[in-house]
Every structure is written in C-alpha cells, then in structure tokens.
Structure 1
C-alpha cells in the first residue's frame, strides 16, 4: 500500500502539459500587447493589474496541473454571533485548469474517492464514477504558445466565502453583492514563487434585519468586508503519511481507496501534521531540517503578546522530549507580511464586539493530510472574561487596600494556556477532555480555573491554570512527529507509544464524548476539575458560598455604577454551572476507552451505584433554596440599570421590569439542572442499565429522588419558599416535556406519565390541607397544568424558563469550508 501511495503522489506532482493543437484565431496577438501599460506581478501564476478598468488579468501556463486553491476572509464583520471573523479560513481545494475550446475551466477533482494504483485504467474508472466540480469558467482572451490570458476579475470578486449565506442563516437579512461598491484590493494582492495572492473588497447591500449587524456595522444596509484568494503550489512527494488511530489524539483525513484488497479496510485514514524531519535521523538530539515556526500578530498588545508567545512556545517541550532541538519556534510576524500568506503559520489576535470563540484552523493537503499552514485566531475579549471572574472572586477594590495583581495574573495565565491549546489544533491535535481528571495531562482540554482557599478562607488563584505542556501532549507529539529509522517497524513503535500511555494511566477522550447533554463518560467534561466530578461539585459549592457571603460593592471599581455589580455577580453565582454538567454525566454513565483489539484497554464499565447516587445527591443539593438564593445584602445593592448601561446577554434576565430579578437568576440555574437530569438519552440508559444490573439506580429512582427533594420537601416561607415553588413548577414542566418528547423511549415516557399521575393525586391531597395563599395558588396551578397534560398530553406546549446568561460559545466545528477548524473559548 505504501508503495502504491508513493507512486500516486509522484504522479500528482508532475505537470501534464496540453498537447492538443490550439487555434490562433482566439486572440489577435501576444499577451504583451494585451497587457501593455498594466502592472505585472510575477510569481506562481503571473498576473496583471489593469488599474484603468479595475481588472486582474491572469496568465495561465499550467494546464491539467493540480494546485491548492484557498479562500479566506481577511477583514471581517466583528460579531461572534454572525461568525465572519478577520482571518477566517474558508475552503481548501485541489484544483486544475482545463481547456475546452475558448474556455478555461477551473476543476476540482474528487479526492474523497480514489484508486491508489499503478494501473491507470483502475484510477480512471474511479475518477469517472464520482462527480467532480467546476468552480469557474474563464473566457480565453489571448493565447501565446502554452500561455493563456483570462480576465479573473469576476472570479475574484464573487462571494467565495458565502457571506450572503451566513448573513441569511444568522437571520441578519437578505443581502447580495453590490458590484458598484466592490473592487479589487491591491494592497493585499501579491505574488510569490510558490503562491499567488489576490484580494477583493466586497460590499453586500440589502435589508439589515438582524440585531448583530446593526450592532457592529456603521451602515448596516451596506456590509463591506474583504475576501482573499490563494493559488498555492502543492507540496512535493517527500511527506510520509502516518496512520490515524482513534486513540492517538489527532485530527485527520479519510478517503475510500477502491484499489484496496478485499481483505483490507477500503477507508484509509491518516493524521494531519506538519512535515518535520531531523537533520541527523540517527542522533538522539538533532535540529530539524526545517523547524516549525509560528508568527504572532503584531497587533497584539503587551502584556498579552508575551503571554501568547510563552504559551505557544510550550510545545517545544514536547518536541524536545522526542529528540528535537529548537524544532518549534514562536516569533513576532515580520512587518509587511500578510498573515494569510501560506508560507507563514500565524497566531492572530482577533477583535469582536462580544466575547466568543478562538479557534485553530489549518491549510492541509487533501491528498495526504500534511499541514501546510497553521492559522490560529484568538478572540481578544477572552482575557477580559477571566479578569471579570477573578474580580468576582477576590473582592479586590476594598477602600484603603492596594488592588490585587492576581486578576491580571489569572487572565494572562489563561491566555498562555489558550495560546498553547489553539496552536495544538494547528499541529493536528484533537481535544482531550479527560485531561482535567488526569492530573492536567493536556492543554487540549477546556480548563476551569482551579480555585482554592487559603488558611484564612481567602480565595487563592495561584494554581488556577497550568504553566506547561502535559504528559498526554508529549505522548501525542511523539505519535505524530517522532522520527523512525527506515529499518524499524514504525507501526509497532507507534503502538508502543500509545500502549505505554495506557499503562501509565494517561487517558484520551475527545469531543463527541464530552458534551453534557446526554453524555455518559465520567471523566471527559468541559470546564471541569478533579478526578471525581461529584466531589469537585461539592467543593466548588462551598467556595461559591463563601465568595457570595463576601460579595459587596468592593467587587467593582470606585465610581463604577452600582448596577454593574450584576456583571461581576454572574460568573460567581454561576461558578458551579460546568461542574454540574460534568457531574450529571455520572448518572446513567459509562466508563469506556477508544480500545483496539488486544491493546489492553478496558472497553466498557457501568459507573458504580455508589458513584451515581453520590452524583445525584450532589446535583440535587444545587436545587436547595439556600443554594439558589441571592442574599438581601447583594440584592439591595444592585439598582436598575443607569443611562448608557443596558442589559446584555452577560446579565440575568428579569421578569420585574427595570429592577434586578433574583428569582430569574435562580430559575435559570434550576432549569439547567433539571434539563440535564431529565435528558431522554440519560433516562433511556438508566432504564437499560438498571435492567442489566438492579443495583444501579433506575430512572424511576431518579424521578423519586428529584420529586422528594423538590415538590415533596418541607414547605418554607419568604424568598426561600418562592424559590422552592419556582423549582417545583420547573420540575413539573420538565417532566411533562420529557413525557411528550417523541425522541424519548416508550418506557421513559411511560414512567414520566406514571409519576405525573401520582403527583396529581398528591397535589389533590395537599390542596385539601391548610396552606398559605401563595402555596395554595402554587398547588392548584400545578394540578391544573398536570390535568391539562392528562387531557392533551401529546399536544401540550412547554413553557420557556428564564435564559441563563451567556456561557462558553464552544463546539462549532464545521464552520465554513473544509479547512480543519476547532473552536474554543
């Protein structure tokens, strides 16, 4: 197979010149006459700038010769919610020019289906079986021997990044390209020996229907951005693909190879990685023939710049561990260099109107998975969110005391980790969400700040984030980048790397197993800490309680509006939200690995009953009124919003008009908890696992636990009583929602029906007892809701609870284009 692949890559690297006879009648003279007076840009594809007419004339001298075409957004909209950011990579395609009559067609072959074979007929049979794509047709204006001159202006000024589609999909309005307000952007149109770069300034005109465009665009009916196009020479055939294994921790490529023997897998999988080789392959320590160098955006300010450089440079620790010297480097981008130039791996500092994603993307060779360019985009407002978290934890602005440096130190520590994380993606690495439960074994996790209390009960953030590469990071770099001698058995040595990690107890679990909604893995979580999610939830709840007790006006700067206390309160009040998401996955949970046959890893193991019940108890404690209540001392200090300080997604919603609404805050958290507990997939697993092992808690037991801790708990008075009634109503609504969820199993819906029927009887009994007016109103209204469900249980529309303030906008892989993108926050 390796020999066939080498032949295939060699064939791809050789240009095939068109030999058919050309008609001289297409154009009257040589190219020089047509382009007289224009500015010539010599390089990979020569082109000419016709300033008088605002056109780009492209000289095509490579027919049936494959190259990379990449489009990108060089100047964006500035809204995280719309998702059109500065420096955002779009599609990466292999293309070639094909001549037919008076046209040049830009064709994209189909590399998802191949035949890696030395039989040309076999290769052709697969090529003809699957569709290709013609991206554009150019009219030939001039022919000169083996050169063709075409007008590329319309191709370059089309909406290649699908800005119109993105604006429509995000409900921002209906737009179309306005040619009268668009033009070629010459300052970023350049040429180099191995890549030609073009840029267009495009204006999209239309109806500005969306909130986001109105927030960030000066004249929202006219949105002007810049789109970039790159023609790039494909790498030579010196790169050796490396096999993809699910437990190796890499992103990768896959395709179907129809030349595969029938006793082998037809789907071929290879990891994505940079090309890296030692100068001396036999030396224990050697410099690289060509080191991997990343360049930081010159627009990043200090001390941010130094933090980003330091964090990204951590990766050199992993390369040193496999015998490389200075193989990974981070420098500041030289003046005048375009960050979209394919020759430079870059770390961009991207601004938006609101906090949002950071992401690591790459330009890859679709044939092999080789990373040609790493491209990191870091959202600049992320550092301010960490500063805000620290501000809420530390009460830093006490009168007469110096302001703590710990806030800035926390924010910069997070930036170092974020820089390392996103660069890791552009090295080819996938997320490892089991790292936080595994001694911080990887920067490829989403880390929640690890908060402790000192001996005097004060918050200590000195160990909030790690300051180095983790043990897993060294393993994964070894798998992808370790050199092996030609005589060695590479496959066996790669397996040894992973097997040693398994025997050392280093875990790897990635994205699809880490999400809280319906998730089942006990260790793979986002924004969590600790080996035991339930123990950490109990610990963080105690810290949250102490921090809220100290919360005061000293959490904001002097002369700040008192209403802005709410912005600082939000991350403190919601300090436990992600640990709740981690803990709930133990309930109906399953421990498992990406095991291969005979690799010694445990395949599956249901979470022990004691751990599941501990998790249930820890989560239900977060629904207690005293856990949800905000103290009178805090409420009384938060006035309505002053002029110029409107509510945002970063604040709690309110049902009380202009005044701060502590019940909505409590409702948002309680609904999150109940939504996670009463997830249809979790319910189905609990029913199944309980039937397989009666010692495990079943879904019926969980429902009894929730009802016992909510509706059937002792009634209290005052604000705690109002919170209790609010939680009880949410419980009934969530139970009805699950009972009417057609995606839930029949037994899940049946058990919900049974519990609602029992609750209806219980409510009837409680109504007949002596109650306060508020409690009686709750009882009768709740019974009416269940009665309505019993009459129309397949058609009852759920009532929406209060929205929880914005959390982590993460998990948006699959953004526009085929460039590998993973998003983080």
Structure 2
C-alpha cells in the first residue's frame, strides 16, 4: 500500500512549489501541471488532479527544463539492441556516462548521469592522430545539458560576467548575460531512474565541426570507433574519420565531471608575479579595481599531514613520459620535470611532482591514454618541427588546473642550420611594438620581411599586402590572436580563452638555433681542442680528457650539451603547466663574466628563471672559463613565483610580494616585449646585453674565419659554407636587434607604491648605455668589414639543388651565386628600421622630457646626426685616391646604404596620418638633414668630378637630384590633398596642380 505523504510536510512543499502560508494550500491540476491555489481543503484529502503517483514523481526531485517522461520513448533494451555495453572498471561500478558501442558500423550510444541537469561537465578535445601536431590539446568546453521536450541542448554557461553582490544585481546579470546554446541532439530514450540516452556518434562525428573548428569530415559513414572507455568520473571516446582532403584523423573527446566543493580556494593574481589567470567581471562590486576578478591558475596541492612543516602531498602532480620518447633522452626529460620539486619543498610539500616512464617493452603504464584527462603526459612527436608547448586545462570558475600535457618535438634537435629567408626577418623584428608594426605594414620598403625576401618574391609579397589591406596592430602577434584555436602565435591562448594555453611557445624555436650554433661551434673548434690537448692543458686550465673516454654523442651532439638543453626546455614547459607565464627579464641577473666563472659554473643557474628564452652560452673571450651552456636548474624567480602561487599562508602573501625589487626577481612577459624596456626581450642575455652582443660578434668573426677550413669537411658539399655563413648572420642580426631596443629605451618596473626599494615604475635607460648601443649598431651594420666577406668565401658559398621536400624552394629560388648586395642591404635596411622607425624616434623624443633639463640625454638631433654622419663619412673624408671604378671612393655596399638612408629621411618628411605629436619635429629634423646632405654632396662634386670614379659620381649626382626634388615640393593651400607618389617622393598638389597618377 502506497503511503501518501502529508501535504503539510515542509520537505514536500518546496518540491510541489507550494507556499506554506500558515496552512495547507489547494493544488489545482491545470494544463501546465499542478498549480497552487489559496483555497483550503480538508486535512488528509488530496486536491483535485493530484494523484499518489504524481506526488511520488514530484517527491523524487525537481524536473529540469522541459524534461519528457520515460514512457514517451521506446524501452532501453530496444534502443540498445545489438550494442555492447562498455565496462572499463574492474569493480563494475556505474560509469560517469554509460556507453554502448556497435563497432561494426561505428555506432555509439550514451546514457547521461541521472543528476545531469544539476551538473557541469568538462569536454577536453584533442586531435589524437593524422596531423603533424597530433596529441596537442585543441581546446575545452565547460558545459551543461538541458532538455527541451525530446531534445537535449548542450549549453555553455556565461562565466565571463558574474555577480557576487546583492540579489538585485545577481538577477540583473543573469537576465542580461545569458548562456549560449552550442548544439542540440535528439533524446533516444530515458532510462527509468536514470538519465536520457543520446546518439554519440551523431553528436561527436556528425557535429564534429562544432567541437573542432576547422575540422570537416568528408564521409561520416566511414567513421570508426578508436577508443571507448568509461570510468566513474570521466569517459574517453575517440573516432577516426576521413577529413575533406581524405586524411584520416582521430578526434578524441574526454567528458568529465567538474566536481564542486573540493576544498580548493582560488588565489588572487598579482601583476608583479607572472601567472596565467582565470578572470571575470563581477558586476556586484563597485569599488575601484574590484569589478575585475583574476585568479592565478594552479593545481590543488594539499599537505597529506598539515601539521608537518614539510609533508608529502595528499595528491601529487603526476606526469608520465610517453613511450614514444626516445630512450636516450628520457632521463633528461625526467630531470627537467623534477627541477620544480625544490620550489614546492620551499612551500612545504616534498615530492610534489612525480614522474613515471610509460614503456612499450615492459608494458609499464601502457594502459593509460595520453588523451585521458586523468593523466598528465609528456608527449614526443617525431614531426621534424622545432616546437614545444605546455598547455593546461583549468576550471573556468576557480582557476584550478585539472589536466596538463607537454608536447615536445624532435625538429629542434635535428637543426643543422637555419633558413636565412625564414629566420632572419623574425630575428630583426623581435621586440617591435604594435605601433612600429603598423608603420611597417603601411611602409613595406622599411619592413625586414620584405627587404630580406628574395627579389623574386618581393613584388608578390607587397601585392598580397595590398589585397588583404591593413592588419590589426600592423600584424603584430597580439592582433592575430584566435580565441578558439591555439598555436597561431606566441600571444594565442593568452586572450579570450577560459582555459590556460601558453600559445605557440617559441622556446623550442630558440633551442633549434642553439643546436645549429653548437654544431657550427663544435665543428669549427674540434681541431682547436685537439691542438690544445696536445699541449697538456685545455683553454679553461683543466686537464684534457682521456682519448679513450670520448664524449657520449646523442644524434651527433655531445650529451653534455644536448642533455641539459632538453632538461631546460622541459622545465620551461612544465613551468607553463604549473601556471607560470614567460619571464623575459630573467636573463638580466648576472654579468657575462660572472656567468663564465668558476663561481657560477655548475653551481648556480645563470639567469633568474627557466621561463625566459635563454640563448645558449658560448664564451668568446668574456670570462675565465666556459660557463654552463644552458640553465642547470630553476632560478630564484621560479622559486618566488611558486611560493606566491602555492604557499599555504594566505596572510603571508604581502610579505612574499615585498621582495619584488630584488634584481633576481625581475619580471616582464610577452606583452612587455613590444614595449620600451630593453631587458624585456627574447633571446637576450646577461645584466649588460652589450657585452653579450659583442660576444656574439666575436663568435661570428671567429666562425667566418674557419668556415672553409674547419666547418666544411672533406667530402662535404660547398653549400655547407653558405649555410655556415648565414648562421653567423643570425648571430649578427640578433645582436643588432638586441641593442636597438636600448636606444630610446626605458626600464619598466611592476612595483606598487610602498613596495621596498621605492623604484620608479619608469626609469629611462642611462644615456651612456643608449650611446653605446647606438655605436654598436653603427659599427656592426654600416661598415663593410662588419660582414667578413672575402672573395675566397664568396666563391664557395653555393647551394645544393634538390627538387624534393623542403629543398624545392631553395633549388628554384636561390642562385648558386650568393646575392651579396641584396643580402647585405637587407640587413642594413633592417638596422635603419630599428633606429629610425617612428616608434623609436618618438621614444627618444619623449625621454628628453622625462629627464631633467640639467642632465644629459640622447636627443633626436643627436641620434639622426650620428646615423647620418656614420653613413655618409665619405663626404667628409673621401680617403686617398686615385679612385677608379675598381677602387671607388664609395663602395658598392656603402652606396646602397646611403641611398637607403636618403629615402628613409625623405619618408620621414612626408605627411602621414599619424596622430603622434612627435611626427612634426621628426619631419623637420629630417628635412634639415636633407639640406645639409645636399650641401655636402655639392661640395664633394664641386670641381672634383674628374677625381671621383664613375660609380661614386653617378651615385652622388642622383642623391643631389633626389634631395632637390624633395626640397622643392610646394605646398598649395586651399586643399587637404597630400599624396605620396608611387616612387616614395613627396608630391603635394592642389587646385592649381594636377594630381600625379596613382
């Protein structure tokens, strides 16, 4: 006999939607279900329309949405006929989703959890096979399911805007900032006392593009099930299907439950320490700065025994090294992971990070799938691309890191040389601001990407720019961020994502340059080492190694080089998975002489953090010994950042942050690299990068002298000479770019008012350092001997011709004869761009105002005069004649440079759409310098034409004429039309003058 609960019971009233107003209320069964009525009814009697069955149904819990009833559908056994239930747990307990599969035709069904309508689910997405970066996390979704009659909608809650204020603000935010429906799918049936059943292959294959933007499955009927595993907190599902191009790809989906009330407490982010953040707007707060809430992304680490000062973790962070990782490298991967344990021990957790090898031979941990959200993997891809990335997935409500995978590829280890066309323009543009990039976008002849391109491609590249039009931020990576897909550029993943992604981390790209440089260095110094070994002592004063104890080689590189490089790279990516962002100011801790000393070597990391892009350290006469080639541990900044993010003492955070002004804790990240701080740069090195830049130039000269004798061995192609020389150009351009940032620079500190040290947030770079940097650029890019070219070297700098693979472009585009003038002017024009772009000139101009008038400062006139005088020295001191066409007064390289400089000055005089207040004084100074150059050119030619060779005479005559045309341009009033002619020369016209042809 069914017992009818008393309608006066307070536990039943809320379920029935009854307002208890001092007594029972009548319920009337209407078209939309039972409704409350204020009329009373006798105690113990059922209201009209309210049956015991209905009461039992209502008592079982609230019905979410417009949920249908089980009897509206066919029975479960009918729907699952021919399917096999997936059982993955040994104890046989129910899984998160109940999964049925029919493998013969790739069909899959799923029953959602009974409490699905009250849960938030997490979907982690991975392309598991069939592309070059298979295994890289593709994205994630924080979602819930909601029934609409006989369909289920997958909905993404709005977590970007919230309210923790009063009830009115919460109601308003909920009404204005609604959730988003991603897709919907039919309900096949409903399991009694269970959840709805859906067609999973229709969802995950038929609607794959809604999970993986850009994925287009050509024929869903050819999809097959690759993975179907069901566990208590997650299910792992994967389908292989042909894409539009026919390529088979495996799409992996991890569905997991986002648990609530785990004890995790979010930690507020602070801009003085570099963490990825989970952020939202809280419109229930009104105090200044409170409405934007930011939490650091971190793992939920707890002490197993809170009473201990140092305790093992309750749940460690466990990484598995995938079995595809070459055995010869596994110990170095493990070492890089374990570097971080010392930082966690500092906050009271021992062995916070654990590492295990997955091994195919022994079967160890082979049952674990890297795509399974329960496991964190180091994955190794043999794709011949130099990439590494350390993304993590986080709870978008709290910032708790849930899952992390690190991707390493083998391409950087294979690096023997770096492509001139692809690499040098990137190096030359390193650190350019969005403002400068926008200028280059509108002025392509200033752009290193155009000037360093082969002549056969330049017109095409310029035409492509004209077709696409202006780019956001001039094409700066920050303006190209895709908030959904990751891996486009270094900024991608830092903006607009719920989860933490560090974007295309370029650390591995830098390591590939390091490996190429090491190979060049080892090849060139091998004979030197043998000669020094014969003398009984090596150059560092150490005893030579026994000839019977040769260095262990890993893929052609001594393990003592490549092993620590790999450990350093892994430690960098692990740092990302722990929540840390890049720190590009960390390399400024020690001077180069300290780094290459017995005091630091093998004992102390030579920079503040592994989160910087630290270049390989090759000592060329700067220090008593060859110091460590790379980082040998995490640095002091890394220890400090982990202490802030993971300490258990919430009240001690301010004490931790009080250390912000300590030099070894300097911090600057991705968005700082385009700013004025010259220390916030990728690939720079040491406390005084000028020392490192000079070291790089010594390294370039050293190898240029040895390319023919040492680097190219008997039996090698002479194309290797060309590759070796272009690598030395990489050293040179990197050094030039590094020092350009010091001109007009200002150090930026993230200190807050009251922080110890009382540092100003902006400190102009000392004038002496700016002048030294300017002199370095002039000496190493404007002088002919800066490039170390000789006829002997040039006669051997050929190129191999192969029409297959990556060699096709070089075979078609690169002539066997190295294009001397195009290559050198490409670098020189890039140096001019670094110094004379409007952003650098504006910074110099603004800094004049920041420095008190009674103190020395680098001024705009001084900068422009220094550049101009260095480029046109032949006008003041032509040297000793007689000059002939074979021994001209002005060399061919210098003539190209002078013409380039002249056109840059004219460009600076042209009217622009720039709103910068510095534009007019820049234009005036450029015009003044043009007048002075005209006078000097006239003087150099006056009465001496017979003494000047034909090349130099023609060059100077053309320069005079070009300046005259620029100076003679007339301003016609009553018009606003100011048009630069196609040649770049200024043409200003009005009603009285016809407009030139565009």
TM range (shorter): 0.7 to 0.9
Measured in 2, the distance between the counterparts of 1:710 and 1:125 equals: 66
Residue from 53, 67, 89 that aligns with 2:137:
89
Helix, strand or coil for the counterpart of 2:980?
coil
Listed as ranges, the matches of 1:480-519 within 5 Å are: 480-484=645-649, 490-491=650-651, 493-503=652-662, 506-515=665-674, 519=675
Q: How does 1:404-483 map to 2 (within 5 A)?
A: 407-439=558-590, 440-453=607-620, 462-483=627-648
Distance 1:196 1:163, change over 3 A: closer
Counterparts in 2 of 1:255 and 1:164: CA distance versus 1, 3 Å: closer
Q: Does 1:390 align with 2:504?
A: no
State whether residues 722 and 796 of structure 2, in contact with CA within 8 Å, keep that contact through their aligned partners in structure 1.
no
Q: What are structure 2's unaligned runs of at least 5 residues? A: 1-60, 88-94, 359-364, 415-511, 531-546, 591-606, 880-885, 970-976, 985-998
Taking the TM superposition and a 5 Å limit, the aligned residue runs for 1:183-194 are 183-184=223-224, 186-194=225-233
Match for 1:200 among 219, 227, 239?
A: 239
Partners of 1:743 and 1:311 in 2: CA distance: 48
Q: Is the 8 A contact 2:589 2:663 kept in 1?
A: no
Residue equivalent to 1:665:
823
Structure 1 residues 512-547: Cα deviation after superposition (integer angstroms, max 9, x where no partner): 1224xxx31132221111111223222322232223
Deviations 1:596-627 (A, max 9, x none): 22113412211121111111111211112111
CA distance in 1, matches of 2:751, 2:520: 43
Q: 2:331 corresponds to which residue? A: 306
Query: Is contact 1:629-1:723 (8 Å) kept?
Result: no
Structure 1 position 635 matched with structure 2 position 804: no
**Structure 1 residues 248 and 154, CA gap change in structure 2 (3 angstroms):** same
**Match runs of 1:450-599 below 5 Å:** 450-453=617-620, 462-484=627-649, 490-491=650-651, 493-503=652-662, 506-515=665-674, 519-556=675-712, 558-599=714-755
C-alpha distance in 2 between matches for 1:662 and 1:252: 49
User: What is the 5 A alignment of 1:5-16?
Assistant: none
Residues 391, 407 of structure 1: 8 Å contact kept? no
Map of 2:178 onto structure 1: 131
Q: In the alignment, which residue of structure 2 is the partner of 1:231?
A: 255
1:18 match: 64
Q: CA deviation at 1:501?
A: 4.8
Corresponding residue for residue 65 of structure 1: 119
Q: Does 1:36 align with 2:81?
A: yes
Confirm whether residue 379 of structure 1 aligns to residue 537 of structure 2.
no
- Alpha-carbon distance in structure 2 between the residues aligned to 1:739 and 1:75: 55
- Structure 2 CA distance, aligned partners of 1:565 and 1:349? 32
Corresponding position: 1:318 with 2:318:
no
CA distance in 1, matches of 2:570, 2:983: 42
Structure 1 residues 307, 370: closer, same or farther in 2, change over 3 A?
Answer: same
Choose from 894, 917, 929 the match for 1:755: 929
Q: How many Å separate the matches in 2 of 1:566 and 1:365?
A: 51
* Correspondence for 2:593: none
Structure-2 change in CA distance of 1:129 and 1:323 (3 Å): same
Structure with bigger RCO (C-alpha 8 Å, 6+ apart): 1
Structure 1 unmatched runs, 5+:
1-14, 79-84, 166-174, 206-220, 485-489, 800-825
After superposition, what is the alpha-carbon deviation per residue over 1:118-153, rounded to whole angstroms, capped at 9, x for unaligned?
A: x66643431221132211100112122342111222
Residue 653 of structure 1, CA deviation: 11
How far apart are 1:715 and its partner, in Å?
Answer: 5.7
Q: Distance in 1 between matches of 2:808 and 2:668?
A: 32
Indicate the SS of the match to 2:226: helix
Take 2:897 and 2:350, find their aligned partners in 1: how far apart are those partners? 59
In 2: Cα distance, 1:537 partner to 1:396 partner: 21
Query: Which has the higher mean CA deviation after the structures are superposed, 564-573 or 426-435?
Result: 564-573
Using the TM superposition, give the Cα deviation of residue 509 of structure 1 relative to its aligned residue in structure 2, in angstroms: 1.6
1:640-683 C-alpha deviation (Å, 9 max, x unpaired): 424468886998997x8332233343233323322221232221
Does the aligned pair in 1 maintain the 2:222–2:242 contact within 8 Å?
yes
* SS in structure 2 of the partner of residue 502 of structure 1: coil
Cα distance in 2, alignment partners of residues 628 and 400 from structure 1:
26
Residue of structure 2 equivalent to 1:100: 148
Residues 722 and 240 (structure 1 numbering): CA distance in 2 closer, same or farther, change over 3 Å? same
Find the aligned partners of 2:983 and 2:96 in 1 and give their Cα distance. 60
Q: Is the 8 A contact 1:548 1:573 kept in 2?
A: no
Q: Is the 8 A contact 1:164 1:204 kept in 2?
A: no
Matched, 1:271 2:296: yes
The alpha-carbon deviation at position 788 of structure 1 amounts to: 6.9
1:443 counterpart SS class: coil
CA apart distance, 1:281 = 2.1
User: Cα distance, 1:228 vs. partner?
Assistant: 2.0
Shift of 1:505: 5.1
Over the aligned positions, Cα root-mean-square deviation in angstroms equals: 3.3
Does the CA-based 8 Å contact 2:226-2:240 persist in structure 1? no
Write the distance in 2 (CA, Å) between the matches of 1:162 and 1:630: 55
Residue 335 of structure 1 corresponds to 366
CA apart distance, 1:51: 2.8
Partners of 2:904 and 2:810 in 1: how far apart? 24
Cα distance in 2 for residues equivalent to 1:271 and 1:337: 29
Does the 8 Å contact 1:194/1:233 carry over to 2? yes
Residue pair 1:72, 1:88 contacting (<8 A) in 2 also: yes
2:832 maps to 1:674: yes
CA 183–461 in structure 1, closer or farther in 2 if over 3 Å, else same: farther
Shift of 1:182: 4.9
| TM-score, normalised with respect to structure 1 | 0.82
8 A contact 1:73–1:161 mirrored in 2? no
Shift of 1:56: 2.1
Tell me the residue number matched to 2:955. 778
Change (3 A) 1:121 1:152: farther
Residues of 2 paired with 1:449 and 1:203: CA distance?
43
Task: Tell me the distance in 1 between the aligned counterparts of 2:355 and 2:804.
Answer: 40
Aligned position for 2:775: 617
CA distance in 1, matches of 2:259, 2:981: 60
Asked if 1 retains the 8 angstrom alpha-carbon contact of 2:153 and 2:183, the reply is yes
Q: Say which one has the larger Rg.
A: 2
Secondary structure of the residue aligned to 1:137 is strand
TM-score by length of 2: 0.69
Paired residues of 2:68 and 2:150 also in contact (CA < 8 A): no
Partner of residue 247, structure 1: 272
Which shows bigger deviation, 754-763 or 130-139?
754-763
Counting matched residue pairs gives 739
* 1:212-246 C-alpha deviation (Å, 9 max, x unpaired): xxxxxxxxx43443322221111332111011000
